[in-house]
Amino acid sequence: MDELEKIINEFRDERDWRQFHNEKDLAISISLEASELLELFQWKSSEETVQTKRSEIEDELADVFIYSIMLYSNLNLNIEEIILNKLKKNNEKYPIGKSKGNKQKYTEL
Amino acid sequence: MDELEKIINEFRDERDWRQFHNEKDLAISISLEASELLELFQWKSSEETVQTKRSEIEDELADVFIYSIMLYSNLNLNIEEIILNKLKKNNEKYPIGKSKGNKQKYTEL
Amino acid sequence: MDELEKIINEFRDERDWRQFHNEKDLAISISLEASELLELFQWKSSEETVQTKRSEIEDELADVFIYSIMLYSNLNLNIEEIILNKLKKNNEKYPIGKSKGNKQKYTEL
Amino acid sequence: MDELEKIINEFRDERDWRQFHNEKDLAISISLEASELLELFQWKSSEETVQTKRSEIEDELADVFIYSIMLYSNLNLNIEEIILNKLKKNNEKYPIGKSKGNKQKYTEL
């Protein structure tokens, strides 16, 4: 991830783009790229899209990662740490005993 | 990333959740988590949110990563590879000469 | 719609909220409410949600309308007119002959 | 609104599209169109977009309405009624006394 972060920052610095990359617009951008990914599944079953749109999924998912990496880089976050932290919280919200094989939200468990 | 992927997959396998994790609903989930991240910036300036909501940003961004990692894990994608591939394409769409200091979309360059 | 617009504007003026309602944040808000609507369908089939979450669908869809009405009201748009205009454009993009019973995007027709 | 609903339903029935229009994919579509609207504001101030992208805003906002009308038509909802209902609930969550000139969420009031 550190290597990817470095490459992505080089990409935007070569273009002098950090001046535009405030965190609010980065959050908008992550949401827009997530929508482009989701659009591949519009009116289709999961299988249908996975079988016919693999390279498009790769591109759109990559864009979600690129903007997400830019955002944590802007904020100097340690991404491994915040993911492990969040998994710990999810572990408390969704204890194995209650949530095994159960897709309910924790508010409905 | 490989280590994170392993931990995340353990998390869902302990709960027997992979049966629900079809790719269409994972794409929906990435989009929903991106919206929860964006919600932190609603009616606020970038600075205002960054200064007052740092731990919330960490949690919501972590959720975007967690679902994004689940999706590429489902599809056996090599995430480093697809990000580098996409940066190469972006490099062609946004050549440094044309896009330096310019926030226009490539369709408007 | 004119009556609804009037009621919605009274609601925000009583709270002195127009000062916050710039169009960028209204567009963010429409997107966030659309996500809350979509969340009702996460991990579920269409039927499952329609049968068990009807009143939640009503509330979230209402929120999409409320912010959408605020946005066109801010811009003094004639909503009937812009919808009819857009349907005309869609009619050209999706001629009946080509698109009948066909869910492909116009770029793939 | 009744007249618009009728015209929109004619549009989809001429194309035999209702078979694809399950409510989950309509909710996805509303979210995608809301993102296309939001994209017009990406990297820009509210004023900048309002001044330079007025006809694009009209088109994307129209699409949000078109899919939202399809969804309530599918479910036989009375849209005026659900909007008035939701405003009543919002009125309780945001009493004028507490929320006047205040952009905080009701959970933070």
pLDDT digits (tens, 9 = 90+) for A49-66: 999 999 999 999 999 999
Q: How many residues does chain C have?
A: 109
Cross-chain Cβ contact B41/A27 below 8 Å: yes
Output the pLDDT for position A103: 83
C-alpha B43/C-alpha B46 separation (Å) is 10
D43: chain B residues, CB-CB within 8 Å: 103
HSE toward the beta carbon, residue D22, CA cutoff 13 A:
16
Closest CA relative to residue C64, chosen from B24, D71, B39, B28: D71
Question: Among D24, D26, D31, which would you mutate to test the A interface (most chain A Cβ atoms within 10 Å of its Cβ)?
Answer: D31
Question: Which chain A residue lies closest to D19 (C-alpha atoms)?
Answer: A43
C-alpha A5/C-alpha A59 separation (Å) is 17
Output the pLDDT for position A47: 97
Task: Measure C93 CA to nearest chain D CA, in Å.
Answer: 12
Contact C8, C73 (CB under 8 A): yes
C-alpha B39/C-alpha B44 separation (Å) is 10
Query: Residue B61 — very low, low, confident or very high, per pLDDT cuts 50/70/90?
Result: very high
Output the pLDDT for position A69: 97
Task: Measure A107 CA to nearest chain B CA, in Å.
Answer: 17
Question: Which chain B residue lies closest to C19 (C-alpha atoms)?
Answer: B43
Query: Residue C82 — very low, low, confident or very high, per pLDDT cuts 50/70/90?
Result: very high
Give φ, ψ of D95 to 5 degrees: -60, 140
C-alpha C108/C-alpha C105 separation (Å) is 5
Using a pLDDT cut of 70, give the percent of chain A over it: 100
Output the pLDDT for position C1: 75
C-alpha B96/C-alpha B86 separation (Å) is 16
Cross-chain Cβ contact D86/C101 below 8 Å: no
Of B20, B25, B39, Cβ closest to residue C32: B39
8-state DSSP, A108: G
Q: In one letter, which amino acid is D75?
A: L
Contact B99, B109 (CB under 8 A): yes
Q: What are chain B's partners, defined as 3 or more CB pairs within 8 angstroms?
A: A, C, D
Output the pLDDT for position D106: 80
Q: In one letter, which amino acid is D49?
A: T
- pLDDT 10s digits, A17-50: 999 999 999 999 999 999 999 999 999 999 999 9
Output the pLDDT for position B1: 75
Of B28, B44, B103, Cβ closest to residue D43: B103
Residue with tokens 């849209």: D79
**D-proximal residues of C, 15-44, CB under 8 Å:** 15-17, 19-20, 22-25, 27-28, 30-31, 34-35, 37-38, 40-41, 44
Cross-chain Cβ contact D15/C99 below 8 Å: yes
- pLDDT 10s digits, A14-24: 999 999 999 99
Of C28, C43, C103, Cβ closest to residue A103: C43
Closest CA relative to residue B35, chosen from A62, D94, C27: C27
Instruction: Give me the interface pTM, i.e. the ipTM.
Output: 0.95
Task: Measure C6 CA to nearest chain A CA, in Å.
Answer: 30
- Tell me what the mean pLDDT of segment B30-55 comes to: 97
Question: Which chain B residue lies closest to A26 (C-alpha atoms)?
Answer: B38
Residue C52 sits at the chain B interface (C-beta within 8 Å) = no
Residue B82, pLDDT > 90, answer yes
- Tell me what the mean pLDDT of segment B19-33 comes to: 97
Closest CA relative to residue D30, chosen from D86, D71, D87, D1: D71
Cross-chain Cβ contact C64/D90 below 8 Å: no
Output the pLDDT for position B84: 96
8-state DSSP, A44: S
Question: Among C31, C40, C41, C49, which would you mutate to test the B interface (most chain B Cβ atoms within 10 Å of its Cβ)?
Answer: C31
Residue D65 sits at the chain C interface (C-beta within 8 Å) = yes
Residue B2, pLDDT > 90, answer no
Contact A26, A75 (CB under 8 A): no
- Tell me what the mean pLDDT of segment A103-109 comes to: 80
Which CA distances in Å does B98 have to A4, B92, D94?
24, 11, 49
Q: How many CB pairs under 8 A join C and D?
A: 171
C-alpha D72/C-alpha D39 separation (Å) is 25
Residue B11, pLDDT > 90, answer yes
- pLDDT 10s digits, C2-51: 899 999 999 999 999 999 999 999 999 999 999 999 999 999 999 999 99
Question: Among C28, C32, C41, which would you mutate to test the A interface (most chain A Cβ atoms within 10 Å of its Cβ)?
Answer: C28
Output the pLDDT for position A82: 97
DSSP secondary structure of chain B: -HHHHHHHHHHHHHTT-GGG--HHHHHHHHHHHHHHHHHTTTTS-HHHHHHH-HHHHHHHHHHHHHHHHHHHHHTT--HHHHHHHHHHHHHHHS-HHHHTT----GGG-
Q: How many CB pairs under 8 A join A and B?
A: 173
Using a pLDDT cut of 90, give the percent of chain D over it: 86
Q: Is the dihedral of CA B90, A71, B109, C89 positive or negative?
A: positive
- Tell me what the mean pLDDT of segment B14-31 comes to: 96
Residue A88 sits at the chain B interface (C-beta within 8 Å) = no
pTM of the predicted structure, to 2 decimals: 0.96
